[in-house]
Amino acid sequence: MDREAQLLKEVADGNEAAFEELFRLYQPRLGAFFWQRTRDRHASEELSQETMVIVWEKAQNFDEKARASSWIFGIGYRKYLEWQRKHARSQKLFQTEAERDVEVLPERPGTGVSGQLGQEALMEHIRQALKELSEEHRLVMEMTFQQGLSYEEISQILGIKPGTVKSRMFYAKQQLKEVLTSRGMKGDELWKISQGA
């Protein structure tokens, strides 16, 4: 049994110290996960807290054969869905506001916008482009890179087939490049960032 599964077992027995250790391991990851989704610090903290309370209460249900991270993120994901349902309306308003604020970059055919930008600005443009992807596409990307989850774990959390996780990721990246191109970029920005350009 790995350390995290061991901790969950101890949490199931009501061990507060084990819970605290597990909390310190997961809170940053959960916080980042919720922050990415909600862009709301208060909501992210609350969702982290609610998720960990459920972990405390339901630890005895954790199947030792499973991985702790997929189990905990599974709870987190359901908490997020609850939050999303409640906030669907206000979130829409928020997004409309945000969309209005997006800086419209001048197109420079031939050179491409990205040619003019430094690394940090380039990253910001990609972040903006990511917002145009569907929620399900962004989720798979973030669960992979932010949370470091395997495709099997993501498949369990989202309740979809592993093959679907892989193809979602594939099309998400493809779509991201299309968005970048439609915004006057060249489509090689991700590669540039990887090279530290």
Q: Does 35 bind other proteins (CB under 8 A)?
A: yes
Q: How many residues bind other proteins (CB under 8 A)?
A: 58
Q: Show the DSSP H helices in the chain as ranges.
A: 3-12, 16-38, 41-58, 68-101, 119-130, 135-145, 151-158, 162-182, 189-194
Q: Which is nearer to other proteins, 35 or 94 (CB)?
A: 35
Smallest gap from Cβ 148 to other proteins, in A, equals 5
Question: Residue 93 and residue 112: Cα distance in Å, rounded?
Answer: 32
Q: Is 154 exposed, middle or buried (0-12, 13-18, 19+ CB in 10 A)?
A: buried
Show contacts with other proteins in window 73-132 (CB under 8 A).
78, 123, 126-127, 130
Residue the block writes with tokens 């490049």: 177
Binding residues for other proteins (CB under 8 A): 12-14, 16, 19-20, 23-24, 27-28, 31-32, 35-36, 41, 44-45, 48-49, 52-53, 56-61, 78, 123, 126-127, 130, 141-142, 144-146, 148-151, 153, 166-167, 169-170, 173-174, 176, 187-195
